[in-house]
């Protein structure tokens, strides 16, 4: 009888153990965003590690997020459009050219948009950089690391649809107007001079020393509590089983 009396406690221990296996996978999940327009900061790192990539300097911050029916679309502006001849983002199992929604050839800028499946994970992208003046021609794989803590809402409802932007200012909530107000310090910077090969290598080596801290994946307090409960329950069950014999 004592053995059967211990069965409910054993079942409770198994349930707690299962919870411990599941919670670490869901604790870091990003909260769902309501339909609307948001800004979010990000950094671009190298493909093989968290060192900041040289490409980070060629993309304006913040990015503009548009959420509609659960789908998150990011708009990002490049400030050296002629150099970045190819920009691809993942779609299913392949990489495709991101949609160009705005272009300003005089300012050497263009704005692209692409879907982001999970803001909490690095977004792998592929670019091709060509600088004819110094005979520079290379392919790169980079990663976008989005800072979920920096998300700010800037519009809802009808503003949720991404607006096509160009070199001219437009009224209403759009990627151009949001970026000009939230990132004036970035977009107002003067264009850097063309780098020589040696200068580019030096800058890349310097950037490699910078590391990006991965975003936290969730609160560990609930997990710690479950661990304590699991240990107590397991100890109680062991006492009951031992006394049964």
The answer on pLDDT for 157 being more than 80 is: no
Weakest mean pLDDT among 13-22, 94-103, 161-170, 211-220: 161-170
Mean pLDDT confidence for 79-86:
96
**pLDDT reported for residue 60:** 97
pLDDT band at residue 25 under the 50/70/90 scheme: very low
Concatenated DSSP letters for 79-110? S-TTTEEEEEEEETTEEEEPEEEEEETTTTEE
**pLDDT reported for residue 69:** 93
End-to-end CA separation in angstroms for the chain: 11
Sheet containing 136-156: give its strands across. Answer: 94-97, 84-91, 123-131, 136-156, 36-46, 63-68, 71-78, 109-115, 99-104
**pLDDT reported for residue 28:** 38
The answer on pLDDT for 15 being more than 60 is: no
The answer on pLDDT for 134 being more than 50 is: yes
pLDDT tens column, 234-243:
655 455 545 5
Give the three-state DSSP class for 233: helix
The answer on pLDDT for 133 being more than 50 is: yes
Weakest mean pLDDT among 23-27, 226-230, 239-243: 23-27
The answer on pLDDT for 64 being more than 90 is: yes
**pLDDT reported for residue 155:** 76
pLDDT tens column, 160-206:
444 444 443 333 344 555 555 444 433 334 344 344 444 444 444 44
Asked if the 36-208 domain carries CATH number 2.60.40.1850, the reply is yes
The answer on pLDDT for 220 being more than 80 is: no
Which residues neighbour 96 within 8 Å (Cβ) at sequence distance 6 or greater? 88, 89
CA nearest to 38, candidates 138, 144, 178 = 178
Mean pLDDT confidence for 194-222:
44
**CA distance linking residue 194 with residue 50, whole number of Å:** 26
pTM of this structure: 0.57
The answer on pLDDT for 94 being more than 80 is: yes
What is the pLDDT of the chain when averaged over all its residues? 72
Q: b/e per residue, 163-201, with b = 16+ CB within 10 A?
A: bbbeeeeeeebbbbbbbeebbeeebeeeeeeebeeeebe
Planar angle of CA 36, 42, 45, nearest 5 degrees:
145
Concatenated DSSP letters for 3-60? HHHTHHHHHHHHHHHHHHHHHHHHTTPPPPPPSEEEEEEEEEEESSSSBBPGGGGGB-
């Amino acid at each position: 009888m004592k053995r059967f009396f211990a069965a409910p406690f054993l079942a409770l221990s198994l349930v707690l153990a299962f919870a411990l296996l599941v919670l670490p996978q869901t604790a870091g999940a990003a909260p769902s965003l309501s339909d609307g327009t948001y800004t979010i900061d990000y950094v671009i790192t190298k493909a093989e590690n968290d060192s900041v990539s040289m490409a980070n300097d060629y993309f304006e911050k913040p990015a503009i997020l548009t959420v509609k029916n659960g789908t998150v679309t990011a708009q990002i502006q490049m400030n050296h459009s002629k150099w970045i001849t190819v920009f691809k983002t993942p779609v299913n199992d392949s990489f495709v050219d991101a949609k160009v929604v705005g272009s300003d050839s005089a300012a050497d800028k263009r704005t692209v948009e692409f879907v982001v499946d999970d803001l909490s994970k690095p977004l792998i992208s592929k670019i091709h950089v060509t600088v004819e003046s110094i005979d520079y021609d290379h392919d790169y794989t980079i990663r976008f690391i989005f800072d979920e803590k920096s998300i700010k809402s800037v519009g809802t409802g009808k503003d949720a649809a991404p607006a096509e932007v160009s070199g001219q200012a437009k009224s209403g909530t759009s990627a151009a107007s949001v970026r000009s107000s939230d990132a004036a310090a970035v977009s107002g910077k003067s264009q850097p001079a063309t780098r020589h090969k040696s200068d580019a290598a030096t800058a890349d080596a310097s950037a490699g020393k910078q590391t990006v801290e991965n975003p936290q994946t969730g609160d560990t307090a609930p997990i710690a509590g479950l661990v304590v409960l699991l240990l107590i329950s397991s100890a109680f069950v062991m006492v009951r089983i031992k006394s049964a014999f």
